[in-house]
Structure 1
């Protein structure tokens, strides 16, 4: 994607020390000789695989989250380390240095100052409060992402071509905005909204939307480039669309993690104030119209999501394949593979009533996601095949699950247990082959279903071998490589394989965005946190999110021993561990819930016993809770085989069934006879009742259906990121509740209330403070108060920092060693 003309006209930051010196020399020629030029600051070299830790970053190792100081509040540093502690056991005291909070009598002037501070903190959205600043995590596993200061010149960037006036506003209120957009004009919005096309044709994220009764949910956070609503054609040269506020609950996740703060619309912009005339004084929608990035009161790094001309031409050519489309999208990391795949998916799924060639897509689109690090329709650590029937407008964390979704479903997925395929290339290749066979089964019922393959940035070594194998034997119609800069060591083998398979190969430019507000590790945390807090219902079209911490939700109790044993065994991918340590590595970990369709999924086991074990899964830890007890006979274990199940399972001192097969390292389950149902968080292991407490968004109906089909369940512990976000959820939730109540207390005191009411409010506030104190004393988390000048300056730098993506794709670079 090339930069827009307006962006080229602005002065951008130098990309190298040579470019910096050249730019400053040109600047020096235009100034007087008496003016002293500022010294040139050298641009930091690309970091190594693990970047060096800065002085302020040394305090934040182990995924530390630092809160920036605000007015009348002290700065607190929350240190989170792994592994995650159980959230249901008795917490241990953590070392902390905390000053007791006091409530002195405040003057009216101080009350007004504090009220103004709290109101400024609540400037992010309709009901949002900015509790913390997002800390830049130093030492990201991706290696070549590093914090970089935002150039001041980048803040004023054009976003919309169209402007709102009275003559193109059809109607507007505090919840809805109906406007007319002229042809070839566009409009940028930030936030969450429902879009209804009433007249004309508009384009949005690759999809062409025609007039219909369908309403589309759009998510436009600041973490990604903003989607643009563009008028393609219309009646009398104009298209008419209705934009309506929505409340999905996703914005409330800001109370659980700082990563979700300051990503939605803030205060009303100039366009919002124009359309809100006549509404209530404090009316605010869940979206805002932005003309330029300077309209954003939070001064964030905002960019429009525009297609490069070569991208658009390639999508039009690929869509001509119709049901014969089989395209592999590959390229280096941070080259725009996911963005191109999402655009192409929406373009093929555009619900056009008529097309130029008369083709209407009624079979949907198959999306083969082979990127376990940043998947599109699921949590990290797995590869999947999805069958989709409707466009998706939003980043991956807005559709991290397709359970009970009307727009599509996951046909089959496999738990890789890592964010990179290089951890076990053989298992990754077997999983890919099985998903391809599943696609062939899909074609039997939907013969005109295209296929889009999203390949990860693993393009060197064995990754290149897997990619060339896919090109040769997948029966592709096209190969798209997302980088015009090579390297030749990758492009030539791919081109040779495509030539042998007689498949055309298209090379497109990579995306130009160099600065992002979230690193890859942070986006993974946001996506998996969204996955665990999302819920789908058959009665509603769009998902809903809950802001209740996982520690306050009711867990699922699974019997791991006895006659009602609900799981067959527990696997730990990687090197063999001592069975005594299984409980320690299991508690607080993310595990894959894998259904074994046949005993052949376990290496060397016999397939003659294919029955399901008795299920002992029940909701909650209460003995009176309803159990999901499926009547089934105990499987007959083949003792004649030297690789029987009993020989592979070792009981730990707690009675946990440790399932290990292989020599030295654990052999993963065979993809041909297994299917990953989803992920679960292990809350605790109760050795007394022989139960494992799990938190999982997997619908109970899907687990029940799998058991009824005779499948057995295995919990697989992988090597994905530790869920540090789950440790601090209760703490951030308690602080959010405390600050909201403080705001209501100050307003009530200002408006005048009785002494009894004030006393009751003080008691409630004391209880909320006690909850915050107890939440800060959980294991593996320390809250340290520091209001020093160094800490305040460090927080101010973090507030302005962005992540610079250093794209390297040549042998010996980080992209080869860390894909």
Structure 2
């Protein structure tokens, strides 16, 4: 094993401006004799048994690989001033991503089993991009808060849309026994195997070229030698900034305390602004609870319709989770047991706060039903990032609804705690720093892709409509999710389901459009080429407002369009109450056949599943909200390129001219009806400002 040489130094990435200033100082100092030495030994900071999981970048030796360093305690982490003053830093110098040196003995591929065996020592870290199944042979490993012991396995999905998870030897614990036989096996503390998995997600670039490179390693990086057929790539170094999943130092003690079984059940309410790490903290806590405590399941209440963890956007949901999850939100469909979900129609609760709160209360009632089956079931509540104004008032209402035992605040939320938490209720408060400490941050100028929340919502919606669910149960005999994805065929080439909306055999019993007052003759104009929620209501529920309206307005007449005007009710809350309404999933209305009274529907729900709802006595109501439909779901850009050429008179097909509902930039200007947004001005004033 090669030993670490003395010219290895701890260094951190600098901005271009800081690097330029440092270079000027170096040039100015060349004419003067230097009193500093350049051969001080310094080891890389790598998370270990005592250290908080924080990675720092360092230079990579050019004369050969280095061995993993010993772990150091948090007190030995250099200060920010020490890191910023690190000399001789080149912004193009490769930085270490994995503290792992590949050799014949610690990275072995088996051609018969098609598996790769990896051996780690304590203090080593291993970062892999792609999708794979990791199975522990001996010892214990940790990944994204999950502790995997001998014989445990886990499916991991790690694209570049999010920070890449780190694989390490699990820290020692009194409750966790270490396999002594494995420790004696060449001095390695953990041995695990990697196996390629093929879910179809690597082809998502066929549908949306924006995400074509999310499975490929950074352009300027070094990786472990692997086969072209592998669905994963271990990354050793990278010049291009590469986000690595780390957590701030204050998180680990809080996660350890919250995963304790002394007080059970816990209800953990997570609060914070935008991009502070609420979802990351929730995922770490979820994985720790499942793998490092006596609980076999965790309940997860997702109240963020803008960036949900397990559903498409515009949804609130309650899940029962029995296995750790190491995957971004656009891949988690089918990985949990969906107890109940509601479509609110907007990416923010500000559009209909009353309905938002009623849906949250209904999901909490469903959680209390789960407690009757398992009274130790811990609840994690993930909220949205709206913490000012009305958002703070909503948080106060949600605290009253969820009755948390612990509230976790990320970032600057001192004032929020003071307003939303009741006094004398015994709620434990955990004030933690926001995420981002110690992680490498991507830089657009350096060529790294940056994805906005809108980009991730688009990715989540595209993946949702391209998922394949072969059976109703959604799981195979071994308990693994059978959800896969098919991006070979564009949605415009997929035969839609025909759903009758009139006649004796009609399937659709009601249509409504949120926040819009139109006449019934414009129903299908407003519905075609949009995303709708398929809501279920028991047909014998005479107290349901929608059922009452349909019977009063249409009676037994099955030949009339069942349009339910949303402006006739108290917002969404009065028309489709959370209690008594279930959301089965989302669908795209591809077209309308008015002659036969049918809607052409594209949905990942299997037709047997939909027919099962009808046989169980449910009526299906379609609800159109403000769900954003990505252009790439309605337009096959591979054919569209030829269409654009034909439009300019250079030959090619007519893909663009034949594409409905879309407008393309021609000569730098977008023209045509509906090319520009229609803005409506509403002069809403306080009473004192109104003229009398």
TM-score, length-normalised on structure 1?
0.63
Q: What is the aligned counterpart of 2:324 among 391, 405, 409?
A: 391
Q: Is the CA contact (8 Å cut-off) linking 1:601 and 1:672 kept in structure 2?
A: no
| Deviation at residue 158 of structure 1 after TM alignment | 2.6
| Deviation at residue 733 of structure 1 after TM alignment | 6.8
* Structure 2 counterpart SS, 1:517: coil
Q: What is the aligned counterpart of 2:255 among 308, 315, 324?
A: 315
Query: Which residue number corresponds to residue 456 of structure 1?
Result: 384
Query: Which residue number corresponds to residue 279 of structure 1?
Result: none
Query: Which residue number corresponds to residue 534 of structure 2?
Result: 593
Query: Which residue number corresponds to residue 562 of structure 2?
Result: 657
Higher RCO, 1 vs 2 (CA within 8 Å, ≥6 residues apart): 1
Q: Distance in 2 between matches of 1:6 and 1:594?
A: 59
In structure 2, relative to structure 1, the CA distance for the partners of 1:304 and 1:655 (3 Å cut) is: same
Residues 410-425 of structure 1: pairs in structure 2 closer than 5 A = 410-425=338-353
| Deviation at residue 782 of structure 1 after TM alignment | 5.6
Q: Is the CA contact (8 Å cut-off) linking 1:330 and 1:457 kept in structure 2?
A: yes
Task: Indicate whether 1:215 and 2:153 are aligned.
Answer: yes
Q: What is the aligned counterpart of 2:609 among 682, 699, 702?
A: 702
* Structure 1 counterpart SS, 2:283: helix
Residues 406-805 of structure 1: pairs in structure 2 closer than 5 A = 407-483=335-411, 485-486=412-413, 488-494=414-420, 496-497=421-422, 499-512=423-436, 515=442, 517-537=450-470, 538-539=475-476, 541-547=481-487, 548-597=489-538, 599=541, 602-603=544-545, 606=548, 645-647=551-553, 655-663=560-568, 666-667=571-572, 668-728=575-635, 730-732=636-638, 773-774=654-655, 777-781=658-662
Q: Is the CA contact (8 Å cut-off) linking 2:461 and 2:629 kept in structure 1?
A: no
Q: Distance in 1 between matches of 2:555 and 2:466?
A: 33
Q: Is the CA contact (8 Å cut-off) linking 1:221 and 1:264 kept in structure 2?
A: yes
Q: Is the CA contact (8 Å cut-off) linking 1:589 and 1:723 kept in structure 2?
A: no
Task: Indicate whether 1:381 and 2:314 are aligned.
Answer: yes
Unaligned 5+ segments in structure 1 are 15-19, 36-150, 277-282, 353-358, 607-642, 737-768, 789-819
Query: Which residue number corresponds to residue 630 of structure 1?
Result: none
Query: Which residue number corresponds to residue 305 of structure 2?
Result: 372
CA distances 1:539-580 after superposition (whole Å, capped 9, x unpaired): 363421111111111211111011112121101010312323
In structure 2, relative to structure 1, the CA distance for the partners of 1:682 and 1:209 (3 Å cut) is: same
Q: Distance in 2 between matches of 1:198 and 1:33?
A: 54
Range moving further from structure 2, 695-704 or 365-374: 695-704
Q: Tell me the C-alpha RMSD between the 2 structures.
A: 3.4
| Deviation at residue 205 of structure 1 after TM alignment | 0.9
| Deviation at residue 466 of structure 1 after TM alignment | 2.4
| Deviation at residue 26 of structure 1 after TM alignment | 7.4
In structure 2, relative to structure 1, the CA distance for the partners of 1:501 and 1:573 (3 Å cut) is: same
Query: Which residue number corresponds to residue 210 of structure 2?
Result: 259
Q: Is the CA contact (8 Å cut-off) linking 1:477 and 1:503 kept in structure 2?
A: yes
Q: Distance in 2 between matches of 1:459 and 1:284?
A: 47
In structure 2, relative to structure 1, the CA distance for the partners of 1:604 and 1:500 (3 Å cut) is: farther
Q: Is the CA contact (8 Å cut-off) linking 1:579 and 1:651 kept in structure 2?
A: no
Task: Indicate whether 1:286 and 2:231 are aligned.
Answer: yes
| Deviation at residue 265 of structure 1 after TM alignment | 2.6
Q: Distance in 1 between matches of 2:345 and 2:554?
A: 20
In structure 2, relative to structure 1, the CA distance for the partners of 1:564 and 1:648 (3 Å cut) is: closer
Q: Distance in 1 between matches of 2:255 and 2:21?
A: 43
| Deviation at residue 30 of structure 1 after TM alignment | 5.5
| Deviation at residue 705 of structure 1 after TM alignment | 3.1
Unaligned 5+ segments in structure 2 are 1-7, 32-88, 172-177, 443-448, 643-649, 669-692
Query: Which residue number corresponds to residue 12 of structure 2?
Result: 9
Q: Distance in 2 between matches of 1:155 and 1:718?
A: 49
| Deviation at residue 414 of structure 1 after TM alignment | 0.8
Range moving further from structure 2, 387-396 or 454-463: 454-463
Q: Distance in 1 between matches of 2:330 and 2:653?
A: 28
CA distances 1:568-597 after superposition (whole Å, capped 9, x unpaired): 110101031232322111010000000013
Q: Distance in 2 between matches of 1:24 and 1:508?
A: 35
CA distances 1:712-770 after superposition (whole Å, capped 9, x unpaired): 11000001213322122x2337879xxxxxxxxxxxxxxxxxxxxxxxxxxxxxxxx99
Q: Distance in 1 between matches of 2:110 and 2:657?
A: 45
CA distances 1:335-356 after superposition (whole Å, capped 9, x unpaired): 1001111111111111x6xxxx
* Structure 1 counterpart SS, 2:465: helix
Aligned length: 561
Q: Is the CA contact (8 Å cut-off) linking 1:324 and 1:448 kept in structure 2?
A: yes
In structure 2, relative to structure 1, the CA distance for the partners of 1:735 and 1:423 (3 Å cut) is: same
Q: Distance in 2 between matches of 1:272 and 1:26?
A: 33
Query: Which residue number corresponds to residue 79 of structure 2?
Result: none
In structure 2, relative to structure 1, the CA distance for the partners of 1:671 and 1:784 (3 Å cut) is: closer
* Structure 2 counterpart SS, 1:480: strand
CA distances 1:349-394 after superposition (whole Å, capped 9, x unpaired): 11x6xxxxxx5223x1111000111111111111011111111111
CA distances 1:379-433 after superposition (whole Å, capped 9, x unpaired): 111101111111111100111x22xxxx531111111001001110000000000
CA distances 1:456-485 after superposition (whole Å, capped 9, x unpaired): 0121223212222333453322100111x3
In structure 2, relative to structure 1, the CA distance for the partners of 1:436 and 1:733 (3 Å cut) is: farther
Q: Distance in 2 between matches of 1:771 and 1:244?
A: 43
Q: Distance in 1 between matches of 2:159 and 2:534?
A: 31
| Deviation at residue 302 of structure 1 after TM alignment | 1.4
Q: Distance in 2 between matches of 1:361 and 1:529?
A: 34
Range moving further from structure 2, 423-432 or 340-349: 340-349
Q: What is the aligned counterpart of 1:360 among 272, 294, 299?
A: 294
TM-score, length-normalised on structure 2?
0.74
Query: Which residue number corresponds to residue 166 of structure 2?
Result: 228
* Structure 2 counterpart SS, 1:658: coil
Query: Which residue number corresponds to residue 246 of structure 1?
Result: 197
* Structure 1 counterpart SS, 2:96: coil
Q: Distance in 1 between matches of 2:491 and 2:205?
A: 15
Residues 4-83 of structure 1: pairs in structure 2 closer than 5 A = 9-12=12-15, 31-32=27-28
In structure 2, relative to structure 1, the CA distance for the partners of 1:492 and 1:229 (3 Å cut) is: same
CA distances 1:253-285 after superposition (whole Å, capped 9, x unpaired): 211111320001358975433x55xxxxxx342
